[in-house]
Structure 1
Amino acid sequence: MSLPSTAREFAMDVTRYTRTAILLHWLIAAGIIVNVTLAWVWPHLADNGVRPAIDTHKSIGITILGLALLRLLWRLTHRPPPLPTGYARWETGVSHATHWSLYLVMFAMPLSGWIMDSAWKDAATHPMYLFGFFEWPRLGFVRHLDAALCDRLHDGFGAAHIWCSYLLYGLFALHVAGAAKHQILDGEPELRRMGIGH
């Protein structure tokens, strides 16, 4: 005996993330894609285009940090839909590990970039404006350190920022591959969980 159409729709709706979670997911994803693109592009820009690209990268990074905080708070106060029952135990484990690792990277990348920027030797003479609207503060506890330590922090957190980007590439590939596997090979409505399709 099949379920009535309204019951089927309700059963499918409980597997979809909330609209807020979906919106935050796609806003953060779009921001990350644009920021990664900017980082790959600005070494090839003319000199007068490099600084605007870097400043836009910083503005998007700070925005991602704020959105990631909102998403984490939403996640902690709203239970996500359950994973499909057809997932193997190892798939569930990988899914959760990838999910929380992406959260870690969403915080680690903008924070490491913010610390690196705050320790930049020319930070005092090159204020950072959030999308050109208002000055975004550097981290005061970093700016007041001596110059030699600032240089070491700049280099160290710059390296951490780069390593976080490599981790992001790997997690992104794993995330997309897992979603594609469940959507295409297993026939699960994986994309529908994040608001794509009916």
Structure 2
Amino acid sequence: MNSRYTGVAIAFHWLVALGIVINLTLPWLWPHLADDRVRPAIDLHKSVGITILGLAIMRLLWRLTHRPPEMPSGYQKWEIGAAHVTHWLLYALISAMPLTGWIMDSAYKDAATHPMFLFGLFEWPRIGTILSLPPATRDAVHDGFGASHVYLSYLLYTLVAFHIGGALKHEWIDRHRELRRMMPVWRRH
């Protein structure tokens, strides 16, 4: 029985993880950046978020068409259940975060005159139905989805901590060698 994830699943995992780390870190840096560096950092945040959304969709499609390896024997039922719930909540959040951000960005009062460029390469479209809302409604959408984006980020911080904590518990305390299941390369001793 193969206990490792496929190379594609591993690549998706670490690319999404890198994007999440970048995007959870950038908002904490904005207050400390020079004024001329804030807008580029926000644009990077948006570009990484859209990239995470695309990777999340591809990762979910891969996951639905490729069965993951079985959990190692010795896991408690509650641990298996907690892992499944955490993974599916993470899938939901890595989709909801970019979507709430995209909606918020599309409702930005100056969105029509300030295009968003994906990594500076090409213009990323705003959501047209939101752009065409009356200004007061658009402001309410911006504020509501902005608040949702922030609250979801706190949930994401929590779930990422549980995910990492669970993996490290299994690796270091239970000695299940959990990390080698998801590492790109693992040396055999």
TM-score, shorter chain, exceeding 0.5 = yes
In the other structure, the counterpart of 2:7 is 19
Among residues 80, 85, 89, which one is paired with 2:77 in the alignment?
A: 89
1:127 maps to a residue whose letter is P
Q: Does 1:168 align with 2:151?
A: no
Letter in 1 for 2:176: E
Once the two structures are TM-superposed, the CA of residue 197 in structure 1 deviates from its matched residue by 2.1
CA distance in 2, matches of 1:93, 1:63: 29
The equivalent residue for 1:197 is 186
**TM-score (ref. length: structure 2):** 0.96
Structure 2: stretches of 5+ with no match in the other structure:
none
How much has 1:84 moved relative to structure 2? 1.1
Match of 1:137 in 2: 125
Q: Percent identity?
A: 63
- Distance, in Å, in 1 between the alignment partners of 2:72 and 2:46 is 38
Question: What SS does the aligned partner of 1:135 have?
Answer: strand
Amino acid at match of 1:197: W
Which AA in structure 2 matches 1:179? A
Quote the Cα distance in structure 1 between the aligned partners of 2:64 and 2:23.
26
Q: Superposition pairs for residues 98-117 of structure 1, below 5 Å?
A: 98-117=86-105
Find the aligned partners of 2:136 and 2:157 in 1 and give their Cα distance.
32
Partner SS for 1:125: coil
Quote how far apart the aligned CAs of 1:42 are. Answer: 1.0
Equivalent position of 1:185 in the other structure: 173
C-alpha displacement of 1:49: 0.6
Query: Secondary structure of 1:121's partner?
Result: coil
Aligned letter for 2:99? L
Amino acid across the alignment from 1:146: P
**Which residue of the partner structure matches residue 113 of structure 2?**
125
Whole-Å separation in 2 of the counterparts to 1:94 and 1:113: 28
Q: Distance in 2 between matches of 1:41 and 1:97?
A: 31
TM-score (norm 1): 0.92
> Is structure 2 residue 120 aligned with structure 1 residue 157?
no
Structure 2 CA distance for aligned equivalents of residues 48 and 74 of structure 1: 40
Deviations 1:122-181 (A, max 9, x none): 101110000000000000111111111100000000000001110011001100110011
Deviations 1:52-89 (A, max 9, x none): 00001000000000000000000000000011121101
RMSD: 0.8
Unmatched 5+ stretches in structure 1? 1-10
1:4 corresponds in structure 2 to none
